[in-house]
Structure 1
Amino acid sequence: MKAFTHLPLSREFQENLKYLHYETMTDIQEMSIPPILQGLDVLAQAKTGSGKTAAFGIGLLHNMDTRRYRVQAVVLCPTRELAEQVTAELRRLARFQHNIKLLKITGGFPMHKQEHSLSHQAHIIVGTPGRVLKLLQRGSLVMDEVKMIVLDEADRMLDMGFIDQIQGIMKFAPAKRQTLCFSATFPDEIQALSQSVMNEPVEVKVETQHEESVIHQRFYEMAPVAKTKAVVSILARFRPDSTIVFCNTKDSCRRVEKELQDSGLHSLALHGDLEQKERTEVLIRFSNGSSRILVATDVAARGLDIKNLGAVINYELPFETETYVHRIGRTGRAGSEGLAFSLMREKEAFRLDSINEFLNSRYKAERLDFEELTSVEDLESAMVTLSINGGRRNKISAGDILGALTSPKGIPGDDVGKIDRLDYITFVAVKRESAAKALKVLEEDQIKGRLFKAMIHDD
């Protein structure tokens, strides 16, 4: 693998990559960044977690003219969560560029506030197709000077029915532009889309299958009524630090989350019926280690980038083999080992046959021994999330929060985990044994000269 220093980037850009510990390129980065820097259209296939955000992000930022306050790049994502993660990663990559402005444009937030932000212009827009198209149609977003459009997780966007919105957005873009399309799979619909919106794209393919040495896959055959007990047994036996339990429907997701709670396992649910505020809180609490189990549907979990995910459990096998590959691809990232367990009924053998054919594997359904595997002791999360009713708009920094928590009457710095600042609320993870003391400090001590309300989220 080549080092990032081989790329023709500015000294400031290279120094920032070094600061971010970007040393050697992943396969997708090594194969796609050079043609992107040359201004060519690129159609790239790569699995989730392969470093594709940095691949298109480096090319996008390299070609940016920060002196012109006009929208020059648009990144389209299938979900709000992925848009949030892409925006955060682009901000990290853009640290070396002064006065660069990125805006996240997605549903779930007031449109008039986004229109107000757009009135002050931006260099980069990251958004979901539906909201981006609406703002284009209202004239609030103008793409006359766009040089690059990125379709991230394009196959997921097509699965979610965004093809018409994507085609509509392209009509507002200049004909002379660079288009990048990143997709985990290359179905016929992706090929058709690329032909309609791209100009002689360079095709880049990176292995999308998951090797047994990285992701250990097991398939357990059982009656549906035994599945929740099976999940408890798997978690008790293998004890992963974090697990996503995938369900096919919202109703199933809600039911499984309740059954796990009743079994003594703290878990969180993520599905389409949650409001954006609730979805954000759930994701923060799971990603900062305050809950070890997330029960989710595919639609809600698309685009999630949870680092160091220990295991994936398919409570129900998905209907599409590609969806199975997407699910298990969330564990075993960056060379670490991952676990993938699938619970199946006897009459679902044909789904396992399809998976074996797609992966060129020979997995067989096993019977799960439930005996002596139902203890859930020590499975409680090590962290707890506290929230403070102040955020970026209140000029509160992560350093301010850390300083308050680690004051002389506070808690040790090692007991403070991830700090997530939103506009008007901040979430901070602290070790469970220090949560009560941390809450007292936040309630009694001023931050930036004022008192903020705080509470513990542990239900």
Structure 2
Amino acid sequence: MSNTSFSTLPLQAALLNNLQDLGFHNMTAIQQQALPAILEGKDIIAQAKTGSGKTATFGLGLLQKLDVKYFRVQSLVLCPTRELADQVSAELRRLARSIHNIKILTLCGGAPVGPQIGSLEHGAHIIVGTPGRVLDHIERGRLDLSDLTSLVLDEADRMLEMGFQKELDAIVSKTPYQRQTLLFSATYPDAIAALSARLLREPVRVTIEEQHNQDTIAQHFFQVGGDEASRMAALRLLLLKYQGQSSIVFCTTKRETDDVADFLYKAGFSVLALHGDLDQKDRDHTLVQFANGSACVLVATDVAARGLDVSSVDAVFNYQLAHDSDTHTHRIGRTGRAGQQGVAVSLYGKYEDYKIGTLEADFDMKIQPQPLPSPDDIQAQPSHAKMATLQLDGGKKHKIRPGDIVGALTASKQLQGDDLGRIQVYDIWSFVAVKRELAKTALRLLQEGKIKGKTVRSRIL
């Protein structure tokens, strides 16, 4: 965090006042370096890690130049995953609270098309979405980008890794040449350099040095036997030692993810698995439960965990080392955010010395394997989730807001506001986290009560 205040920027008074209300006083490094150029209308290539404050960086730029009286799509933000798009949309809405009648619309694959078509017919100022779904709406004549003034590519490296090159090129071909383009990427491989050369005009290059270091993230490396039983046993011990209340275990394959999650579940851990073979409903349920504290351990593949809306986790465990240093950096960057201390634990076999050598060279560090803790020295038990998740069969389409859910649960005084956790309202369903010991009481209150004058079916996930 820098000592430079947002008030030094030429932002609208309404935006500055809202930033104060949100507790945003001083700029992060990327905001300090990139926002002045963005507000001047320049194209930007910003290389920064997740958690650096980049969403507010481009969000303030979009909102500052937006003409809310001109009801056309003026800004488009493209993201690699639905989860990241939802996260970006939520942050933009927070930043835009002081702007009346602004409409921000999210267009993502995996979500029903019907409501999106209806929303597009009513128009929007800002579109946030994934490349495939956005292109589909364009090609079917539902989305017109001829009035676009700002294009943002968020986590551009991951969009290319996920195979969205053709979709990006097709979308850009439908935008005006005279536009501002802001490209954000955690890494800067040759593919990003080529993309930047095609899309941006005289861009300002901003590079934020590695945000995560030994001061904020303690990295531990453990050499394990070559068989899966030895590796899983080591993971169990290390989870008991370092787990905290929320941990992510990274695996390399979908099969491995399921196997590790099954092993940890049988060992008594509160665990969920996340990988590409899950259907969208199960994926949504998994992400919601982990993000709101209803599970303590998430076992995931790298691509599946992109855009995970969790501010920070206590520890990251690499069940297998990442294939490259950039992916390792992405993984461990999930912990130690916002000045908090984090832990990153990595397991490797004797035939993976070449990966250790690469990490040593890229991180300029000497890696010494530590001895595994003895089972006799660990008295801890697996952490239990403090919250449980209730799903309601009603959402935005039914005019349900978070306050309606809070009211339904607290009206009888059997539950207090402090007994509730995160509330997420989607188009046709909603989720609310409740202290685990009160979950059945909360379910009964929802089943016996009404929201917006109607009974809403509910269940505990």
**TM-score interval, normalised by the smaller of the two chains:** over 0.9
What's the offset of the Cα at 1:344?
0.8
Equivalent of residue 191 in structure 1, options 166, 190, 193: 193
Q: Which amino acid aligns with 2:59?
A: G
Question: Does the CA-based 8 Å contact 2:408-2:446 persist in structure 1?
Answer: yes
**RMSD of aligned Cα (Å):** 1.5
Q: Which amino acid aligns with 1:302?
A: R
Q: Which amino acid aligns with 1:50?
A: S
Equivalent of residue 255 in structure 1, options 256, 259, 277: 259
Equivalent of residue 427 in structure 2, options 423, 440, 457: 423
What's the offset of the Cα at 1:239?
3.6
Question: Does the CA-based 8 Å contact 1:384-1:432 persist in structure 2?
Answer: yes
1:325 equivalent in alignment to 2:316: no
1:404 equivalent in alignment to 2:408: yes
Over the matched positions of the two proteins, sequence identity in percent amounts to: 48
Equivalent of residue 382 in structure 1, options 377, 380, 386: 386
Bigger CA drift: 418-427 or 107-116?
A: 107-116
Change beyond 3 A, Cα 1:406–1:113: closer
Unaligned runs of 5+ in 2: none
Inter-partner Cα distance in structure 2 for 1:119 and 1:445 = 35
Which residue of 1 is the match for residue 94 of structure 2? 92
Question: Does the CA-based 8 Å contact 1:60-1:148 persist in structure 2?
Answer: yes
1:148 equivalent in alignment to 2:167: no
Could you report, residue by residue, the CA deviation over 1:165-221 in whole angstroms, capped at 9, with x for unpaired residues?
111111111111100001111111111111111001000010125210101111111
Bigger CA drift: 407-416 or 169-178?
A: 407-416
Inter-partner Cα distance in structure 2 for 1:173 and 1:79 = 21
Which residue of 2 is the match for residue 207 of structure 1? 209
Which residue of 1 is the match for residue 291 of structure 2? 287
Q: How many pairs are equivalent?
A: 457
What's the offset of the Cα at 1:376?
5.5
Which residue of 2 is the match for residue 65 of structure 1? 67
Question: Does the CA-based 8 Å contact 1:72-1:123 persist in structure 2?
Answer: yes
Query: Secondary structure of 1:107's match?
Result: coil
Which residue of 2 is the match for residue 8 of structure 1? 10
1:455 equivalent in alignment to 2:459: yes
Question: Does the CA-based 8 Å contact 1:398-1:421 persist in structure 2?
Answer: yes
Change beyond 3 A, Cα 1:376–1:455: farther
What's the offset of the Cα at 1:375?
5.3
Which residue of 2 is the match for residue 299 of structure 1? 303
Query: Secondary structure of 2:239's match?
Result: helix
1:33 equivalent in alignment to 2:70: no
1:78 equivalent in alignment to 2:80: yes
Equivalent of residue 395 in structure 1, options 393, 396, 399: 399
Q: Which amino acid aligns with 2:270?
A: H
Bigger CA drift: 58-67 or 118-127?
A: 118-127
TM-score w.r.t. structure 1 length?
0.96
Written as runs of structure 1 = structure 2, the 5 A alignment for 1:308-319 is 308-319=312-323
Inter-partner Cα distance in structure 2 for 1:311 and 1:366 = 17
What's the offset of the Cα at 1:402?
1.5
Unaligned runs of 5+ in 1: none
Question: Does the CA-based 8 Å contact 2:271-2:298 persist in structure 1?
Answer: yes
Query: Secondary structure of 1:347's match?
Result: helix
What's the offset of the Cα at 1:409?
4.9
Question: Does the CA-based 8 Å contact 1:49-1:305 persist in structure 2?
Answer: no
Bigger CA drift: 152-161 or 54-63?
A: 152-161
Which residue of 2 is the match for residue 216 of structure 1? 218
Question: Does the CA-based 8 Å contact 1:404-1:410 persist in structure 2?
Answer: no
Inter-partner Cα distance in structure 2 for 1:138 and 1:385 = 38
TM-score w.r.t. structure 2 length?
0.96
